[in-house]
Amino acid sequence: MKITDNIKYIGVDDADMHLFESQYVTPDGMCYNSYVILDEKVAVMDTSDHRTIDVWKENLKEALGDRQPDYLIVHHLEPDHASGIAELCALYPDLQVVCSAKAAQMMSQYFDAPLNVLTVKEGDTLSLGRHTLRFIMAPMVHWPEVMVTYDDCDRVLFSADGFGKFGVYEADADDWACEARRYYFNICGKYGTPVSTLLKKAAALDIQKILPLHGPVLEGEKMAEAIRLYTIWSAYDVETEGVFIAHASIHGNTAAAAERLVEILKAKGCPKVAVNDLCRDDLGEAIEDAFRYGKMICMASSYDAGVFPPMYDFLHHLDIKAYQRRRVGIVENGSWAPSAAKTMRPMLEGMKQVELVEPVVTLRGKMKDTDILQLDALADAILA
């Protein structure tokens, strides 16, 4: 696949990858992107995951024809992109591996053979002939060694994991945001500040195309929309007005109250109410929606003098992903000594600028008419 006259796509779809990073369900698989720049010098941009390395080598061979690569640019050392480095170096002994100082330092953790490494820093350039590559450090846009590359000839940005998404290359052709958002918040969510910093550096460049390590190449309106969303996401701003309800219910009474609360919120004119059953639905989806909406209500059964574990797990995930700047309500259910709120409250209060909305509602088993009045009051308070 041709990206520009001199840049070829040599990435690989991994349609059978259904649990990316041993954690994220990926029903549409995954792709590991890699590119080749064919100029007076030849640069290979990243490699592939070990699962797809043979197909990647075939793609590379085809793209190279009778040429030999001069440089391997390593943007990110995570194994889903870096599994071919040692092999490629063995195949082409003159090949120079170009990466950040941090990546160079980490290289020996993954590869035994000493590699021929050229370390680059912020703003360094490398001429391939017509194409000059400019390296931009992007520490913690997933890992500390990450950098991105701007090619001022074709005006493209190799963006590493930034602007990536779940799914094979062609998946969700008309809806980039859904799986890109789930990818962003689950994988980069904690690193909003580094992502913002990278966006600011990128804003100074004339970028015609973004070439990420996962998901489709972005250009035109789709690229503009992706940048708009990344600006919101990295700032932890609200993308969509509405309320997200996350519930964890053992026997279904709390879940029934959640359904009732959806009705109440809609009747009050809430523009959007999203719901996740933390016991059955994808946790990654719940994390995505917690960040997407400005308001959240957590509803859970009490459990062994604490909170039902699916809710505990969810709040723990939000905490490590730096969930912040949101209004949150709590509903608990308990049959003899309700304890869910007591556990949820400090977890939420520990998060940056999370404002707890009163009343905290306590249900006892089945929802009663008096509970509905309480849910109504909570709905008013969260919408206020």
Ligand X SMILES: Cc1cc2nc3c(=O)[nH]c(=O)nc-3n(C[C@H](O)[C@H](O)[C@H](O)COP(=O)(O)O)c2cc1C
27 binds, among ligand X, Fe ion, none (CB under 5 to 8 A by kind): none
Dihedral angle over CA of 160, 166, 171, 176, nearest 10: -70
User: Would you say 352 and 190 are in contact if contact means Cβ atoms under 8 Å apart?
Assistant: no
* Site residues (CB under 6 A) for ligand X, limited to 283-312: 301-305
User: Would you say 149 and 131 are in contact if contact means Cβ atoms under 8 Å apart?
Assistant: no
Q: What is the DSSP string of 172-216?
A: TTT-HHHHHHHHIIIIIGGGHHHHHHHHHHHHTS--SEEE-SSS-
161 binds, among ligand X, Fe ion, none (CB under 5 to 8 A by kind): Fe ion
The rounded distance, in Å, linking the Cα atoms of 264 and 241 is: 16
Q: Closer CB to ligand X, residue 250 or residue 356?
A: 250
305 binds, among ligand X, Fe ion, none (CB under 5 to 8 A by kind): ligand X
The rounded distance, in Å, linking the Cα atoms of 330 and 368 is: 17
# chain residues binding ligand X, by CB under 6 A: 19
303 binds, among Fe ion, ligand X, none (CB under 5 to 8 A by kind): ligand X
Q: Which two tokens stand for residue 295?
A: 């308001």
State the residue for tokens 């070829």: 8
- The distance of closest approach from Cβ of residue 325 to Fe ion in the complex, given in angstroms and rounded to an integer, is 25
Q: Which two tokens stand for residue 113?
A: 């053979």
* Site residues (CB under 5 A) for Fe ion, limited to 129-168: 142, 161
- For Fe ion, which stretch binds (CB under 5 A), given 78-86, 97-105, 123-131, 309-317? 78-86
Q: Closer CB to ligand X, residue 4 or residue 249?
A: 249
* Site residues (CB under 6 A) for ligand X, limited to 353-372: 365
Q: In sequence order, which residues have a C-beta less than 8 Å from that of residue 164 and are 6 or more positions away?
A: 180, 183, 187, 212, 213, 214, 215
Note whether 206 binds ligand X by CB under 6 A: no
Q: Closer CB to Fe ion, residue 151 or residue 161?
A: 161
Residue from 39, 46, 70, 80 binding Fe ion (CB under 5 A): 80
Residues that bind Fe ion (CB under 5 A): 78, 80, 142, 161
Residues that bind ligand X (CB under 6 A): 249-254, 301-305, 333-339, 365
